[in-house]
Amino acid sequence: MASQTKVKQRRIVLIGVLISVLSLGYTLSVIHWSELGLALAQANYLWLIPSFLIIFGVSWARGYRWRLLMYPDLHVPLRRMYHFVNIGYLYNNILPAKAGEVIRAYLAGREIAGGLGQALSSLLIERLLDVLCAVVIMLILLPLTPLPSWLRLGGLVFGGVAVAAAIVLWVLSRFGERGVDWLWRWVGRIPVIGGPKVEQLVRNLVEGFGVLANWRVIPGVLLGSVLVWGGYALLNYVVLLAFPNMARSALATTTGLVASAFGMVVPSSPGALGVFEAAVIEGMAVFGYSRSAASIYALVLHLFTNIVLILLGLISLVAEGVRFAQLREQAQPLADSPNPPAGA
């Protein structure tokens, strides 16, 4: 069973690498190299200072929202949640298969009563909230600009799935374990979908979603979501300001943000290299940006963001007193386990 799981993981990793290579190849193919050199020479790199501060602030906002999703276990200081977020991003940008998510769940799970199970539940709900936030931004953009058909379709599909999932999870959370047991009498008969990993995933989601039924938590979660996604939108625009010869358009950079958010759902290499750029290019092309200019902007935005996240992650590793290789070895068995222990 373990060997089959590893084979599946390797296939997903290989598919992700292939998609990234193809996407990066497309990104590089649309660049006019003389334009790249001129754009980099004329760029005002002082705009990267506020960009750094925005990334720093978004990580704090993510830590704040994630901490609330662990209600009522709120004793872990926000400073440490911030470090866990940074460490997760560090591993996501270096290792495949979103390894950073498991690692930051492992770090938080050591500090809370619910252990790894509760930490994973909170991360799954965080991802669901992020999809819903991207869909909300897309809905705000719809009356303001003609979005490309593929982006509208993707938003409607992801949005429909996210809303349906939220409704199902809300209903199941009212019944707790009994609700999942009843559901799995039917779903458990379906090949693949009814497997133990999927069942555990659903149980973690139901457990985590129950937090959002508490009205003490909802205002803070909404505030955190606004800060996170408002920060991303501001970051995308501020990086654009570094290029004096590119038209200023917050609508274009925000559309690029939504496109990249949906693109990140696709399997890819560590750091979503290529996939991020291709999504931003197509999102900004709607506003009349040449694909060459959009690709230069996307590459700088992505490279700078990942460098900052890796730097913050390394600083957080030192602050937490853990080592890169050691942490990876400790968290790997949990990534391979279909049923993580509640108190891990």
Q: What is the mean pLDDT of residues 242-260?
A: 95
Distance (Å) of CA 159 to CA 131, 155, 181, 237: 7, 6, 27, 24
Confidence of residue 170 (pLDDT cuts 50, 70, 90): confident
Whole-angstrom Cα distance, residue 327 to residue 99? 11
Confidence of residue 146 (pLDDT cuts 50, 70, 90): confident
Q: Which residues contact 220 (CB under 8 A, 6 or more apart)?
A: 64, 65, 68
Closest CA to 138 of 128, 126, 148: 148
b/e per residue, 86-125, with b = 16+ CB within 10 A? bbbbbbbbbbbbbbbbbbbbbbbbebbebbbbbbbbbbbb
Closest CA to 140 of 221, 235, 251: 251
Whole-angstrom Cα distance, residue 297 to residue 272? 16
Closest CA to 232 of 85, 67, 51: 51
Whole-angstrom Cα distance, residue 341 to residue 344? 5
* Stretch among 20-29, 113-122, 198-207 having the lowest mean pLDDT: 198-207
Whole-angstrom Cα distance, residue 338 to residue 70? 21
Model pTM score: 0.88
- Digit-coded pLDDT (tens) for 265-312: 888 888 888 999 999 999 999 899 999 999 999 999 999 999 999 999
Residue 102 and residue 335 in contact, taking contact as beta carbons nearer than 8 Å = yes
Q: What is the mean pLDDT of residues 103-131?
A: 88
Whole-angstrom Cα distance, residue 155 to residue 39? 32
Report cis status (omega within 30 of 0) of the bond before 50. Answer: no
* Stretch among 2-16, 205-219, 222-236 having the lowest mean pLDDT: 2-16
b/e per residue, 289-323, with b = 16+ CB within 10 A? bebbbbbbbbbbbbebbbebbbebbeebbeeeebe
Q: Which residue has the tokens 């949990």?
A: 334
Q: Answer yes or no: is pLDDT of 341 > 50.
A: no
Highest mean pLDDT among 47-51, 119-123, 137-141, 192-196: 47-51
